[in-house]
Chains A and B, each alone.
Chain A
Amino acid sequence: MTKNTTRNYQRTPLALAIALAATLGATAAQAVDFHGYVRSGIMESNNGGQNAYLAGKLGRFGNETGGWWSMVFSQDLLKTDDGKSFGVWAQLEGDTPLTGNDDWTYGDTYGPNGHMGMTAYYVTAKGYIAAMPEATVWAGKRAFETHEIQQLDWKAVHSAGNGAGIEGINAGPGKLAFSVKRTDTNSSTWYTTSTTTDSSGDTTTTSTANTSKYNVDFFDIRYAKLPFISDATVELIGQYGMVDKNDEQEDLEAAGTIVKAENAFIPTMIITKPVGKGYNETYFQYTTKRFANNLVALGYNDTLSTSFDNDYSDAKAFRFINTGETYLTDDVVMQHSITYATGTDITPTLEKANAFSVVARPAYIWNANHKTALEMGWFKQTNTVSGEDKVEEGEKVTLAQVITAGPGIFARPELRFYTTYIKANEHEISGSAPFNDGKDDQLSFGVQVEAWW
């Protein structure tokens, strides 16, 4: 009896193995794939503070006062011989301000204590739609194919939230993807007052700020990898934010208590061309209403924001971006980003906005472990506010010696020893000089590490 029990016990994994290897023709869950990213360091300035100045326009290199980390865990849960697969992806991200050593007091927003969050967790299923077996269906929380202007640290195309979608559909010469996500956002603020009377008959009036949360569905359609001229390709993107209001919100808008929240559409065309070992990318974007402000705001010009903090009903904006990396010789590589954005009637008071920035970073590659990089940035933005022109203009130069670990020229981690000089020539839009003690220039030194794996 004991012998039989033992034999049956041994047969169970064998039967399972046969089922996996032969009958089902499938591979069970693979090892968890772990990837991560970290950026941190120290920075000091001649003004005694850590102040960055408009890195989204002057360049982030030697102009960052925050660190960032990301941990990604993904796994193929199932793969079958006939091309079907299930996978899962989870991502944890956070920032680490460079000002202190507080490890644990995380907040829920970017700030002095840093914050962290589960920014993605979704499941993919490929090969389960008979009509398009090449397609992958997904559901969960995800930032779908974010396009970042790396040198400026903002997202020219951004689409993140809880939702579902389908990607990788063969459609003519290109690939099609569609998704919808929730990007709920606040209304503009309105104030209510309440009056209380204490026992001695004194009255106190209290003003309370109120907002209402709109439901916003963010639709995203991509048509990518379209052959263009020579070896260039084009991606066409359409993103539509649709506001779903409740009766209370309709009433508040009708009464003029809050500004009207309107649907908005932003189309984008991206032309991509390989250039030797580097690349060149050009973006064209035109939009109206809420998204228009994202293109001409003074800071980081991410496209995703749908916050209705102002009346954007008449806003229109256009943006052109050209960015890339070019090997001028085997030893000299140049990164660059050029951005031009213009908008009209952004808000009832912001009648016009024009912004231009150019950032270039040539680097000399001494050998596989050492580079010397020089980043130069300049920008000017003019906003016409209630008939008056306000100008913000700045320039930056960063000199850095870069040490890279490992034998490959692209290997990480990378250590950057840098010094940066920034001058804010005009600061009428931001309203005040950007550096400590009311100074409009800053010399800083720092060491930064960036690693990914």
Chain B
Amino acid sequence: MKLSWFFNITALSITTVLAGCASSGSNQENQLLNNDLSTSATQALATQSLCCNDLAQVTYPALETGKKLINGTSPAMQFESGKSYFYAAKIDDQYLGKQLSIHSSIGKTVFPLQVLLLKADHQVSRSLPLSAFSTTGYSLMSSPALKADIQLFPEEKFMIIYADNRMMGKSIKIPHPEKLKEKATGIVAPPYPDLDIPFSPWGVVEIQTAGNNSALSKLLSSEPVLSSQNTTTGSAPAATAVAPKSSTSTVAVTASSQTQQYYQQAIQQAVKNNQIEQAMQLVAEAEKLGFNDARTVFVEAVKQK
């Protein structure tokens, strides 16, 4: 019986792990990511009372980076895209001019996030629809997500993250994680079908300042591999904002021309300040939102210098 101690320790480890695995030990985040709660979340949303009728009535705690759980304890209100739970925050001066990375984690379901950025008077400065977010694939220690990097403008003082309720009942397809192994080994992945992920009114949203990522984590992270607009089984909402409704319980979003104007000014200002990289980033961001004049604005700004 050579190495009986080794067997004993290993057997004990296996027994311990086997015993431990029956209890999930899940926290709220795991519950949201590892279970398809879309049906119960939709039912809960239907009966959820509205917190406010106007963006000015919303309570805005100070923005803190990190994970935000959007579930039955979150406030809900009526948006143009439908009723939705949401996360709201006040953007402090420490985030002035910074780039935020916002993503919605993809587990068994995904929260179809949209973002409103508001000025000090709670008027909408920008509205970022679901189509502004790209799908990132699996990477080491990170789930796939709907993700976008957003350059904050100085006038933007508040942020609201909410769901596009029109996407409920629809789903998004993401590549099977074995496809990542193909990239890592060069061997053809087994022909797993893509994973079908339904949208849910609940989910996990994470906010980071884009510059905070370490070089290593950037190196290990996957580039966006799929556009949500191209992969939703239903049609993704258009990148332009919608007209206000007369209903007092609906938050009107009239950001289309204002948002476009903000991008134009920001691009011009960045070029004026010789911040070409930032200007190019803004061009890319604006084009993603469907503002196709951004490149022309950029070129004209350069010519006028």
Chain A interface residues toward B at CB < 8 A? 10-11, 13-14, 17-18, 21-22, 30-37, 44, 46-48, 70, 72, 74, 91, 119-120, 143, 145-148, 150, 155, 272, 274, 277-279, 281, 323-325, 366-370, 372, 399, 401, 403, 405-413, 417-419, 445-447, 451-453
B46 at the interface (CB under 8 A from A): no
Contact segment of B25-33, B79-87, B241-249:
B25-33
Interface contact A146-B295, CB-CB below 8 Å: no
Q: From the candidates B138, B192, B223, B274, name the one contacting A30 in the complex (CB within 8 A).
A: B223
Given A120-B186, A417-B17, are A21 and B298 also a contact pair (CB < 8 Å)?
A: yes
Known: A33-B223, A366-B22, A419-B11. 16 other contacts (CB 8 A): A14-B276, A17-B276, A17-B298, A17-B302, A22-B298, A72-B184, A120-B186, A145-B188, A279-B192, A323-B190, A407-B33, A408-B143, A410-B177, A412-B140, A452-B180, A453-B139
B193 at the interface (CB under 8 A from A): yes
Q: List 20 A-B contacts (CB under 8 A).
A: A18-B299, A31-B223, A34-B220, A46-B1, A46-B2, A148-B187, A148-B188, A274-B192, A279-B193, A368-B34, A369-B21, A399-B14, A407-B34, A410-B176, A410-B177, A411-B141, A411-B143, A413-B141, A447-B13, A453-B180
Interface contact A21-B295, CB-CB below 8 Å: yes
Task: Tell me which residues across on chain B come within 8 A of A281, comparing CB atoms.
Answer: 190-191
B117 at the interface (CB under 8 A from A): no
Given A401-B14, A445-B7, A452-B185, are A408 and B138 also a contact pair (CB < 8 Å)?
A: yes
B142 at the interface (CB under 8 A from A): yes
Q: From the candidates A21, A74, A372, A417, name the one contacting B283 in the complex (CB within 8 A).
A: A21
Cβ of A239 to closest chain B Cβ, rounded Å = 15
Q: Select from chain B the residue with minimum beta-carbon distance to A364.
A: B21
Chain B interface residues toward A at CB < 8 A? 1-3, 6-7, 10-11, 13-14, 17-18, 20-22, 24-26, 29-30, 33-34, 105, 107, 138-144, 176-178, 180-181, 183-188, 190-193, 195, 218-220, 222-223, 271, 274, 276, 279-280, 283, 295-296, 298-299, 302, 305
Cβ of A88 to closest chain B Cβ, rounded Å = 14
**Cα of A143 to Cα of B190 in the assembled complex, Å:** 16
Q: Select from chain B the residue with minimum beta-carbon distance to A30.
A: B223
Cβ of B253 to closest chain A Cβ, rounded Å = 30
Q: Select from chain B the residue with minimum beta-carbon distance to A410.
A: B177
Cβ of A445 to closest chain B Cβ, rounded Å = 4
**Cα of A446 to Cα of B7 in the assembled complex, Å:** 9
Cβ of A26 to closest chain B Cβ, rounded Å = 13
Q: Select from chain A the residue with minimum beta-carbon distance to B193.
A: A274
Q: Select from chain B the residue with minimum beta-carbon distance to A13.
A: B276
Interface contact A370-B2, CB-CB below 8 Å: no
Q: Select from chain B the residue with minimum beta-carbon distance to A231.
A: B193
Task: Tell me which residues across on chain A come within 8 A of B274, comparing CB atoms.
Answer: 10, 14
Task: Tell me which residues across on chain B come within 8 A of A408, comparing CB atoms.
Answer: 33, 107, 138, 143-144, 177
Q: From the candidates B7, B107, B192, name the one contacting A278 in the complex (CB within 8 A).
A: B192
Interface contact A21-B177, CB-CB below 8 Å: no
Q: Select from chain B the residue with minimum beta-carbon distance to A401.
A: B17
Cβ of B273 to closest chain A Cβ, rounded Å = 11
Given A10-B274, A17-B302, A21-B299, are A407 and B143 also a contact pair (CB < 8 Å)?
A: yes
Cβ of B142 to closest chain A Cβ, rounded Å = 7
**Cα of A446 to Cα of B143 in the assembled complex, Å:** 28
Task: Tell me which residues across on chain B come within 8 A of A48, comparing CB atoms.
Answer: 2-3
**Cα of A273 to Cα of B33 in the assembled complex, Å:** 29
Closest 9 CB pairs of A and B: A453-B140, A370-B21, A410-B177, A452-B184, A37-B184, A445-B10, A35-B184, A368-B34, A274-B193
Cβ of A393 to closest chain B Cβ, rounded Å = 27
**Cα of A145 to Cα of B2 in the assembled complex, Å:** 45
